[in-house]
Amino acid sequence: GPPSLRIAGQPTYMRSAKTLALLAYLAFEPNTAHSREKLAGLLWGESPEAHARLSLRQFLYSIRQTLGDLGVDCLTLKKRNVAFRLQPDVWVDAVEFMALATREGEPPDALRRAAHLYRGLLLEGLKVFDSPAFEDWLFLRRDALKQHALSALVSLGL
């Protein structure tokens, strides 16, 4: 469904749609090192490389500032790559949904929890301009989530 970010139970907002898109991309694929080059191309592929890399640095800084101590724990920033590490007090609904919906032979309770988590299109309403690579990624992730949700509902007989 629509993007929502809470820290200590309080709604928190990113400074821009691209900042939120970057955080969402990293959080949806946690514990994975993403090259800075790939991330810059994902959201600023239409820009000159130097500008794209500068934008990426600024947006990563903005994410860390917004998340505070949580950002220091979750974001691993290295010279060549960036990763989002899930922490015990961090929950990403789309990651949880995929974990529940894609397990073979799961009991109906897990499928019911997955079906309950699905609230519509991933990042519904998020508009990121001049980022065709991100839009392609988002389209594919939305489709995969929707297919898993439909499969769960069919398995449950709903």
What is the arithmetic mean of pLDDT over 61-72?
A: 91
**Which tens digit of pLDDT belongs to each residue from 86-123?**
988 899 999 999 999 887 766 788 888 998 999 999 99
Query: What pTM did the predictor assign?
Result: 0.92
> Which of 70 and 17 is assigned the larger pLDDT?
17
- pLDDT tops 90 at residue 75: yes
Q: What local confidence, expressed as pLDDT, does residue 106 receive?
A: 62
- pLDDT tops 80 at residue 158: no
- Longest Cα separation, the chain: 53
